[in-house]
């Protein structure tokens, strides 16, 4: 593909690695980050801009990396004839408004898990007392992005949920204006995702398994994500029963980009949880290792509305996030003391499978940037899950960062879950 101009527009610098990859493939790149605390992310790796609107005419392709109002901008640019990878007000709402997402699933003929919305902690507490059961607490709106607030109840009488609601009432009342209680369903958690070109899904689809708890064994606080294992597939029973049914609505919205639906499945059925109507993080970085065509070509053809087959590897990809304090907590003093500007060293000069997140390049050194403490995603590939895991861990051994930590069990659940999924028939290609 001839040289193109790519403009990446970000709220918090999430998509820095994709911008860097496109630059390495020989294209011109400009990268905008809105939030002041994150503006140094990507410095030295790609060219930055402080005013993305001035670059619109320059850009051949414009890429948005988040929701939270970005869909309105993407829609407006598409209506002006620009090639855009990004959402719409509708798809932003699918992710940001949990109740709306659930109702849209129901409207598409997809069964949903019983839920109830609350604008009062007291009302939520009284509801659990009157209908004791296992529930999941899901804050809505912007508070939904604070992943440590997600709570999965384990007690049959709901007492653990009541205790958490009472604690949130004291400490998070200003941030949580609305919350959802969703009945907990037991089974295998799995996500099905696919790329949409404005008119239809393109294939193959992506099947992935998130690891959101901080510690191995699925322990500790919830995070945005600690790692993911995945593989590519032709449309299967899971996809056809869920995302495929959203195709008409996505076409009406001229949506262009990735959309992912997290589900619980068991022998009784498929129970969708929530949408991600954008690139997932670190999902997109792990997908980069599974896509064999240039990422720049892939993004350009997607934004152009082409119907093409994504060229992908067979087998599996496994990615773990490399983290430094205070992640997943917001603690500027800890970040300043232990992580800011910390150097990332590589024992051998091999960057295969290394994807930058909150990083900057200064005088040839890789330094921790931003404020969150999510610095790298390291990805392994293989024809089996075990091979992909081993490949990832060998790459991690090449990295030295003060106070770094990561989950050592990314991909382990596949060895049990795959038997169940195959037995239930959800992964069978159609």
β partners of residue 297 = none
Q: How many Cα atoms are found within 13 Å in the side-chain-facing hemisphere of 233?
A: 19
Predicted pLDDT of residue 99? 84
Q: What is the largest CA-CA distance in the chain?
A: 64
Which residues in 205-240 are b (16+ Cβ under 10 Å) and which e? bbbbbbbbbbeeebeeebbbbbbbbbbbbebbbbbe
Are 121 and 160 in a shared domain?
Answer: yes
Q: Is 408 helix (H, G, I), strand (E, B) or coil?
A: coil
Does 370 fall in a domain? yes
Does 429 fall in a domain? no
Mean pLDDT value across residues 106-113: 91
| pLDDT confidence tier of residue 413, bands split at 50, 70 and 90 | very high
Predicted pLDDT of residue 144? 65
Whether 145 has a pLDDT exceeding 80, the answer reads: no
| pLDDT confidence tier of residue 138, bands split at 50, 70 and 90 | confident
Q: Give the domain extent around 295.
A: 188-424
Mean pLDDT value across residues 397-424: 96
Does 100 fall in a domain? no
Domain count, the chain: 3
Predicted pLDDT of residue 174? 77
Alpha-carbon span 326 to 373, nearest angstrom: 6
Alpha-carbon span 150 to 143, nearest angstrom: 10
Does 109 fall in a domain? no
Q: Could you report the per-residue pLDDT of 269-312, keeping only the tens digit for each?
A: 999 999 999 999 999 999 999 999 999 999 999 999 999 999 99
Does 99 fall in a domain? no
Are 202 and 350 in a shared domain?
Answer: yes
Predicted pLDDT of residue 119? 87
Does 103 fall in a domain? no
What's the DSSP call for residue 114? Answer: -
DSSP string, 347-407: SSS--TTEEESSEEEETTEEEE-SSS-EEEEEEEEESSHHHHHHHHHHHHTTEE-TT-B--
Which residues in 385-416 are b (16+ Cβ under 10 Å) and which e? beebbebbbebbebbebeebbbbeebbbbbee
Does 415 fall in a domain? yes
Q: For residues 172 and 401, which has the higher predicted lDDT (pLDDT)?
A: 401
β partners of residue 382 = 316
Mean pLDDT value across residues 131-152: 81
Are 78 and 121 in a shared domain?
Answer: no
Are 179 and 213 in a shared domain?
Answer: no
Domain stop point among 125, 149, 183: 183
Q: What CATH number corresponds to the domain at position 124?
A: 3.30.1490.20
Are 325 and 224 in a shared domain?
Answer: yes
Q: Is 167 helix (H, G, I), strand (E, B) or coil?
A: helix
Q: Could you report the per-residue pLDDT of 364-394, keeping only the tens digit for each?
A: 999 999 999 999 999 999 999 999 999 999 9
Q: Could you report the per-residue pLDDT of 16-57, keeping only the tens digit for each?
A: 999 999 999 999 999 999 999 999 999 999 999 999 999 999
Mean pLDDT value across residues 240-257: 97
Are 126 and 217 in a shared domain?
Answer: no
Are 214 and 141 in a shared domain?
Answer: no
Domain stop point among 66, 94, 122: 94
H/E stretch holding 98: helix 98-107
| pLDDT confidence tier of residue 430, bands split at 50, 70 and 90 | confident
Predicted pLDDT of residue 222? 86
Angle, CA of 23, 27 and 30, to the nearest 5°: 65
Whether 87 has a pLDDT exceeding 90, the answer reads: yes
Predicted pLDDT of residue 53? 97
Which residues in 155-168 are b (16+ Cβ under 10 Å) and which e? eeebebbbebbeeb
Task: Judge contact between 264 and 352, C-beta under 8 A.
Answer: no
| pLDDT confidence tier of residue 213, bands split at 50, 70 and 90 | very high
Q: What CATH number corresponds to the domain at position 84?
A: 3.40.50.20
Report the chain's mean pLDDT, rounded to a whole number: 94
């Amino acid at each position: 593909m001839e040289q193109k101009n790519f403009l990446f527009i970000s709220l918090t610098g999430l998509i820095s690695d994709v911008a860097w990859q496109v630059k390495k493939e020989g294209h011109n790149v400009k990268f905008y980050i809105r939030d002041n605390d994150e503006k140094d992310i990507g410095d030295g790796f790609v060219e930055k801009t402080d005013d993305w609107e001035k670059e619109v005419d320059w850009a051949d392709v414009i890429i948005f990396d988040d929701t939270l109002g970005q869909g309105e901008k993407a829609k407006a640019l598409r209506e002006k004839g620009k090639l855009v990878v990004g959402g719409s007000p509708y798809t932003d709402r699918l992710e940001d408004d949990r109740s709306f997402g659930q109702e849209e699933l129901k409207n598409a003929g997809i069964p949903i898990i019983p839920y109830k919305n609350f604008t009062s902690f007291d009302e939520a507490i009284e509801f659990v007392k009157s209908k004791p059961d296992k529930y999941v607490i899901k804050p809505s709106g912007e508070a939904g992005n604070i992943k440590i607030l997600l709570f999965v109840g384990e007690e049959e009488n709901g007492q653990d949920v009541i205790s958490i609601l009472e604690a949130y009432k004291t400490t998070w009342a200003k941030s949580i204006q609305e919350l959802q209680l969703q009945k907990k369903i037991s089974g295998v958690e799995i996500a099905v995702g696919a790329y949409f070109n404005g008119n239809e899904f393109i294939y193959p689809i992506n099947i992935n398994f998130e690891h959101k708890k901080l510690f191995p064994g699925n322990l500790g606080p919830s995070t945005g994500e600690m790692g993911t294992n995945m593989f590519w597939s032709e449309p299967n029973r899971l996809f056809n029963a869920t995302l495929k049914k959203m195709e008409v609505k996505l076409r009406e919205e001229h949506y262009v980009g990735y959309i992912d639906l997290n589900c619980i499945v068991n022998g009784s059925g498929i129970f969708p949880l929530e949408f991600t109507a954008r690139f997932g993080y670190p999902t997109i970085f792990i997908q980069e290792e599974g896509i064999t065509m240039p990422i720049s070509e892939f993004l350009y053809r997607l934004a152009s509305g082409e119907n093409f087959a994504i060229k992908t590897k067979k087998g599996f990809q496994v990615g773990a996030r490399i983290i430094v304090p205070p992640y997943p907590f917001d603690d500027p003093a800890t970040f300043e003391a232990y992580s800011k500007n910390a150097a990332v060293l590589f024992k051998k000069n091999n960057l295969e499978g290394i994807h930058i997140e909150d990083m900057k390049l200064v005088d040839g050194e890789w330094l921790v940037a931003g404020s969150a403490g999510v610095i790298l995603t390291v990805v392994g590939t293989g024809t089996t899950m075990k091979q992909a895991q081993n490949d990832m861990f060998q790459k991690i051994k090449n990295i030295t960062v003060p106070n770094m930590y990561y989950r050592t069990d990314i991909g382990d659940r596949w060895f049990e879950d795959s038997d169940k999924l195959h037995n239930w028939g959800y992964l069978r290609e159609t």
